[in-house]
Amino acid sequence: RNIVINSLLPLLFSVESQDDYAVTYTSTQICAVKGSTEVIGCSFKYPSRYPYLRDTVWFTKGNGNKRDDLKRDPVYAGRVSYSCGLNSCTLTIRDLRESHSAVYKFRFEANQKSFTGLPGVTLNVTVLQVHVDTSSYPDWATLTCQSSCRLNNHLFYAWYKNGQKISTQSDQYWYTDNLNSSDSYSCAVTGHEDFPSPSVYIPEVPSVTVSPSGEIVEGSSVTLACTGDANPMAKYTWYKEQKQISHEKQINFRSIQSSDSGEYYSRAPNLNFSLLHAFGINLSTFLPDAPKLPFVSVSPSAEIVEGSSVSLTCSSDANPAADYTWYKDKKLMSREQQLTFSSIQSSDSGEYCCTAENELGKNSSEVISINVKCEGRQTFLILTLKCYDCIIDSIKCG
């Protein structure tokens, strides 16, 4: 009976559990800069009574067979090496490229049993980018050396201006009050200066221009253009009332209509710029209209000494713009909008009125009576607004 029991003991102790095999990674998420060297490490275990370790493999594709070994992958040729012991193994990848971003797994074989550590280690290889924040224009700009994944918080950065190094032990932020659009900036992680970010330029503030300037007549051709230099070249976006309408540098209205009225914004962000500068212009269209009742203004309005300068100005809302004519005592005096007396005299007394006319109609001001009186050596200008419209050749103006 004792012999039977003893013969079963080795069989009982030889039973293996899945828990006898394990892989523990030093880190499961790694962010590394292009061009740098990264070490991925792990520890592993297997039944101690079988200390014989047959094989170790790092892989990103397949199941970890020999053909999946990174040392056989041409993408990693000359860049990878292993350093493995009985219970630990490290993978070193030199001169990282973006194509090396992948999930790395470790597989070992012991006691004729293979085991793969899951889920593996996710490696993201990032290319640095300079992000420009110009929200503090025109005082300064904030430059940030950014990556597509989270780098080690204890890294130092080198900053470059026009290709010349200006700092080596900085954090990821750089502030400049020299906002010259011809200056380029780039950054790199200290120790990996051979792999800087692409250079970017602080952009000029974009501006909006309207052509033609001045009043806009319905049915006419109008162009809204957004200008602003940036390198790399800026991409433009147009908005009307906060709704995106175009990605072109300018908007052309071949025949502008009243429905086109509104507030337009041009934004010219660079791909590497996060803050979008918006500059608005209020585009108002005017329906064609005959001149409204003209208004006459007199300058100066105080007492005037004989021989001084006096101006009468005629104004009227009209689309298209009105042509003006001045009359004194029903006789034509001038076809200008402003009637100027360089040295007013008593002979300039009389009744004045003006007309405003365009292709859609004509209208006239009320009559202003100017009475120049001489008292001693002073001349007083007395203005009287008559309660009737200007009559020219017995035809009512307008």
Residues 149 and 117 in one domain: no
Which residues are bridge partners to 103 per DSSP? Answer: 122
The answer to which of 12-21, 243-252, 368-377 has the lowest mean pLDDT is: 12-21
Q: What is the pLDDT of residue 268?
A: 63
Selected residue with higher pLDDT from 17 and 57: 57
Of the pLDDT bands very low, low, confident and very high (cuts 50, 70, 90), residue 31 is: very high
- Among 168, 201, 234, the domain boundary falls at 201
**Which CATH number does the domain housing residue 131 bear?**
2.60.40.10
Bridge partner residues of 41 (DSSP): 90
Question: CA-CA distance, 59 to 81, in Å (whole number)?
Answer: 12
Q: What is the mean pLDDT of the chain?
A: 79
What's the pLDDT at 394? 31
**120 and 40, same structural domain?**
yes
* Residues ≥6 apart with Cβ < 8 Å to 4: none
Least confident of 28-32, 130-134, 177-181, 320-324: 177-181
Question: What type of residue sits at position 314?
Answer: C
Please check whether residue 288 lies inside any domain of the structure. no
The pTM assigned to this predicted structure is: 0.51
- % pLDDT > 90, the chain: 32
Which pLDDT score is estimated for 332?
Answer: 94
Residue 27: pLDDT band (50, 70, 90) is very high
Report pLDDT for 138: 61
Is 1 part of a structural domain of the chain? no
CA distances from 44 to 22, 50, 294, 311, 355 (A): 5, 14, 95, 99, 100
Do 23 and 121 belong to one domain? yes
Q: Which of 262, 283, 304 is the C-terminal boundary of a domain? A: 283
Residue 71 included in any domain: yes
Q: Which of 278, 283, 234 is nearest to 256 (CA)?
A: 283
Handedness of CA 212, 215, 217, 222 (dihedral sign): positive
Q: Are 339 and 302 in contact (CB under 8 A)?
A: no
Which carries the bigger pLDDT value, residue 168 or residue 193?
Answer: 193
Distance between CA atoms of 246 and 269, rounded to whole angstroms?
Answer: 14
Distance of CA 108 to the CA centre of its chain: 51
| Non-local CB neighbours of 307 within 8 Å, separated by 6+ positions | 343, 344, 345, 379
Residue pair 293/303 in contact by the 8 Å Cβ criterion: no
386 within some domain? yes
- Looking at the domain assignment, is residue 7 inside a domain? no
Does residue 312 sit in the same domain as residue 373?
Answer: yes
pLDDT in tens, 103-122: 999 999 887 788 999 999 99
- 54 and 143 together in one domain: no
Structural domain total, the chain = 4
343, 265: one domain: no
Q: What is the pLDDT of residue 246?
A: 87
Q: Which two tokens stand for residue 364?
A: 């006239």
Do 27 and 120 fall within a single domain? yes
Do 380 and 313 share a domain, yes or no?
A: yes
The reported pLDDT for the residue numbered 14 is 47
Q: Which residue has the higher pLDDT, 387 or 134?
A: 134
**Tokens linked to 397:** 């103006």
Coarse DSSP helix, strand, coil percentages of the chain, rounded to the nearest 5 percent: 10, 50, 45
Angstrom distance (rounded) from CA 397 to CA 294: 11
The domain boundary, picked from 283, 318, 336, lies at 283
Same domain for 38 and 59, yes or no, is yes
Decide if 359 contacts 320 (C-beta within 8 A). yes
Q: Does residue 13 fall inside a structural domain?
A: no
What is the pLDDT, as a whole number, of residue 12? Answer: 38
Let me know if residue 11 belongs to a domain.
Answer: no
Q: How far is the first Cα of the chain from the last one, in angstroms, to the nearest whole number?
A: 135
Strands 121-126 and 29-33, bridge-based pairing: parallel
Tell me which residue range forms the domain holding 178. 127-201
Laid out side by side, the sheet with 184-189 consists of 164-170, 157-161, 184-189, 200-201
pLDDT at 84 over 90: yes
In this structure, the number of other CB atoms found within 10 A of the CB of residue 390 comes to 22
Does the pLDDT value for residue 397 go beyond 50? Answer: no
Lowest-pLDDT choice from 38-42, 79-83, 105-109, 147-151: 147-151
| CA–CA dist 45, 115 (Å, integer) | 10
Do residue 214 and residue 253 come from a single domain?
A: yes
In this predicted structure, the answer to whether residue 69 has a pLDDT above a threshold of 50 is yes
- Which of 31-35, 109-113, 200-204 tops mean pLDDT? 31-35
**Judgement on whether residues 24 and 115 belong to the same structural domain of the protein:** yes
Tell me: do 135 and 119 sit in the same domain: no
More confident residue, 138 or 329: 329
Q: Report yes or no on 10 lying in a domain.
A: no
